Each structure stands twice: as structure tokens, then as C-alpha cells.
A = this chain, B = another copy of it.
Amino acid sequence: MSELEHQIRELCSKAKAASRALAPLSADQKNQLLMEIAEALVRAQDAIAAANDQDLTAGQNSGLSAALLDRLHLNERRFQQMVTGVRQVVALKDPVGEVIQTWVPENGIEMQKVRTPIGTIGIIYESRPNVTVDAGVLCLKSGNVPVLRGGKEAFHTNLALVEVMQGVAEKMELPREIVSFLPTIEREAIPLFCRQETIDLMIPRGGHGLIKTVVEHARMPVIKHYHGVCHIYVHQEADLEMAEKVIINAKTQRPGVCNAVETVLVDESIASQFLPQLVTALQGKGVTVLGDETTSTAAGCALDAPENWEVEYLDLILAIRVVSGLDEALHHLNDYGSHHTDTIITEDETTAEEFLNKVDSATVFWNASTRFADGGQFGFGAEIGISTDKIHARGPMALEELTIYKYIGRGTGQTRH
């Protein structure tokens, strides 16, 4: 076993041991922990800013792009947002200990299904250092030990943030390892981390490459936060004014996020009526519109064809396709969609309900922008991400989704026949 492997193994094993001290804490105790973290962060703001400067300088020297440097920058506004975020998590209801169900089966044992923490949660993320605190406190509030592995660009900032959280743990006479952090920037650390059976769940937050590496090496369950190829289907019975408004919003309000729309499907019977105005409106907002031949003809202008229908543009680019009706739209979603979020625009309830029922995506909307697929918008408070998996948690993943349950049975000496 290499030195690095030994180090990671020890760290994860200590995280697991710490999870046994964290799990039984009451909501009040966990809230106190979080409030102390918020205060300690404020007190350590200068030291954190200095560490962030160190990362920014190193990033500039190694030629990071302006976009990456921006993500890396924990400026005053972002720092305050991060601290406010911690205080908001204090206000959220603790899911742990909730009695989900109570019943007495024939054997007479009083049964309860009770919500519990999962244990240790590995989180692998990229450049933004605020994730260290955002994801960290969501884990703590749900009684789980976060085992964090941030991007190498933010290494010093992350270390400073973790140091603050661990200091609070120590002050409260809890193991420092209730917040665990892989203190290495080596790439080989990721596959090694993914093989540790003391980690109960792994959540990779990042691009395709990262998720692929994690899925390939993981020996524990993984909840993937994949991409969003979101669709809006404009049915022939749509209110076209609403359709235009919703599409413009879903594409342009914040194009770089996973719940922005990437492809619009339009019923052919309304295509030549609707598309010219839609394309003009989109282009007026700076959107590059792509479409196949039928779409170009209906729109009355030459459009470049999309390379394929599976692209997540994350930019002011929108692909449009003309379909023969609901069935073809459903086929398109099955063949090319990423099952993240899809919307139908129609005034016809029967068609809407068939769409809502048949589309196999985490979130399905009728007459609303895809941009609403979001834990905050759902009223869940903070979210750790949006799961594109179909196991355990699907869609926005908040505190409750960071828990599991156990069965408790209180008997009077029952034996089985």
C-alpha cells in the first residue's frame, strides 16, 4: 500500500469513527455547532482571504482562465453569502429522528421506521471553495460526516475553511474529524478515495470526466449530479405568447446552469405560425438558434443544424426541432434527453397530464420555466445538488435526501414460530 493510500485509508476510517459521535447529537446541539461555525468564519475572514489570495496568485501564475479564476475568488459578497447560508441551514428542520411510520404487525412488536443519518459522505468537487462550507454544513446538520475533496486550485482556501470548522468541533469537545478533508492535491487520490468502504456515499459534483472516474472506481453508492439537457415542448394547443415568454426565460435568464433549456420541440401544425416570431425574439436576446431543415423552413430563415440533439450548451444557444405531436416529442425525450427537467406548454389538460405522467424525468412541468427545478424554488432551503440518478434521491437533493432510515422494534420477548 502506498503512503498516499495509507493516508486516505486512515482519514476515512477516522471520519467513520467520528460519525458515531456526530450521529446521536440533538438538533439543538447541531444547530449550536453551525452557529459557532458561522461566527468562527466571520472571525477568520482575514486568514481565509489571505489563503484565497494565495490560491488566486498560484492560479494566475499557472495560467488559469479568467472564468476559473472568478469561480475561485471568494470575494466579500460570496463570503457573506456563505456565512448567511450557514445560518439559513440552522433554521431548517432537522430530518434526523423523524418517525416516518409506526405500526404493530401480527407478531405484536411495536415497530417504527425512523430517519437516521447515512454516516460518512464523500463529496468531490471542483473549483468553487464555498462548496466546502455549503456542503459541509448540510452534512453536519443531517448528522453526517462530510469527507471533502475540493479542487486543487482552491486547496489553501479549502484548508483554511476546514480548519475553522474543525476548530469549532474541537471547542465543542467533538472529534475534529466530524469535518474531514483530503489534504492532498494528487490526482491519484480520487480513485483511492473512491475505494474506501468506510465512506457510505459518494457525491461527485463536477464535469463528465470527474463523474466517469468516480463511477468507475467507486466501491460505495454514488449519487450523480449529471448534466441537464432540458426541453420545452410547445404543443399545438399552447398559448403561444406564454410559450415564447417561458422559452426566453428558460434560455436567457441564466444560460450557464443545468436547468436552462437546451432544446425546444414544436408541433408541426403551429410551427410556421409560431417559429418566425420565436426565432426573431430569441435572436433579439442574443441567442444563436439552431434547427434542422424543417425548422428553418417553418421559421422562414436559414438556421445552422445542431451537431446532435444531446448537447448541453450552457450558453446562449438553443436547438429547435419540429415534431409531429406528443408521441414524437416523448420519443425525442427518451432518445436524447438527460431526464433532468422537461416542460410542456399547452392549454389542453389531457395532453398535459399524459406528458406529466409519461416523461421519465426528475422534474416535469406544465406551463412553467425549466429554471424552477431547484431546491430553493421548491422550498427545500439549501440543496447539495440536483441528482440525475433514479435511486435514493432524484432531483433537488436537500437535508432529507442526506438521510436513510432504520427499523426499531420494541417487543416483550417475542420468539418466532
**Residues of A that sit less than 8 Å from B by CB:** 20, 23-24, 103, 105-107, 109, 111, 116, 118-119, 200-201, 215-216, 219, 221-223, 239, 242, 245-246, 248-250, 253, 334, 352, 356-358, 360-369, 371-373, 377-379, 389-392, 394-396, 404-417
CA distance A368 to B413 in the complex (A): 5
Q: Which one of B352, B367, B416 lies within 8 Å of A372 (CB-CB)?
A: B416
Other than the given A23-B360, A249-B416, A363-B407, 20 more pairs (CB < 8 A) read A20-B334, A105-B378, A107-B368, A111-B378, A119-B390, A221-B221, A221-B392, A223-B391, A245-B413, A245-B415, A362-B406, A363-B408, A364-B408, A366-B409, A368-B412, A368-B414, A373-B407, A391-B391, A391-B392, A395-B407
Grouping DSSP codes into helix (H, G, I), strand (E, B) and loop, the A interface class, with mixed when no group exceeds half, is mixed
The answer to whether A390 touches B409, judged by C-beta atoms less than 8 angstroms apart, is no
User: In the complex where A105-B377, A372-B107, A378-B407 touch, is A415 in contact with B249 (Cβ < 8 A)?
Assistant: yes
Question: For residue A334, which residues in chain B have a CB less than 8 angstroms away from its CB?
Answer: 20
Question: For residue A363, which residues in chain B have a CB less than 8 angstroms away from its CB?
Answer: 406-409
Q: Which one of B20, B394, B411 lies within 8 Å of A406 (CB-CB)?
A: B394
The answer to whether A414 touches B362, judged by C-beta atoms less than 8 angstroms apart, is no
Q: Which one of B253, B392, B396, B409 lies within 8 Å of A415 (CB-CB)?
A: B253
A–B Cβ pairs within 8 angstroms, 16 of them: A20-B358, A106-B379, A116-B360, A223-B391, A253-B416, A363-B407, A364-B407, A365-B410, A367-B412, A367-B413, A368-B409, A368-B414, A369-B416, A372-B411, A377-B416, A394-B406
Copies of the protein in its oligomer = 2
Which B-chain residue is minimally distant from A403 (CB atoms)?
Answer: B390
For the complex of A and B, 10 pairs with smallest distance between CB atoms: A368-B411, A249-B415, A392-B392, A242-B413, A371-B416, A105-B379, A221-B391, A363-B407, A368-B414, A367-B411
Question: For residue A369, which residues in chain B have a CB less than 8 angstroms away from its CB?
Answer: 414-416
The answer to whether B372 touches A409, judged by C-beta atoms less than 8 angstroms apart, is yes
- Min CB distance A314 to B, Å, is 17
- Min CB distance A360 to B, Å, is 7
The answer to whether B24 touches A358, judged by C-beta atoms less than 8 angstroms apart, is yes
The answer to whether A200 touches B390, judged by C-beta atoms less than 8 angstroms apart, is yes
The answer to whether B111 touches A356, judged by C-beta atoms less than 8 angstroms apart, is no
CA distance A395 to B406 in the complex (A): 7
The answer to whether B407 touches A103, judged by C-beta atoms less than 8 angstroms apart, is no
CA distance A103 to B148 in the complex (A): 34
The answer to whether B394 touches A404, judged by C-beta atoms less than 8 angstroms apart, is yes
The answer to whether B389 touches A356, judged by C-beta atoms less than 8 angstroms apart, is no
The answer to whether B365 touches A411, judged by C-beta atoms less than 8 angstroms apart, is yes
The answer to whether A389 touches B221, judged by C-beta atoms less than 8 angstroms apart, is yes
- Min CB distance A359 to B, Å, is 8
The answer to whether B409 touches A119, judged by C-beta atoms less than 8 angstroms apart, is no
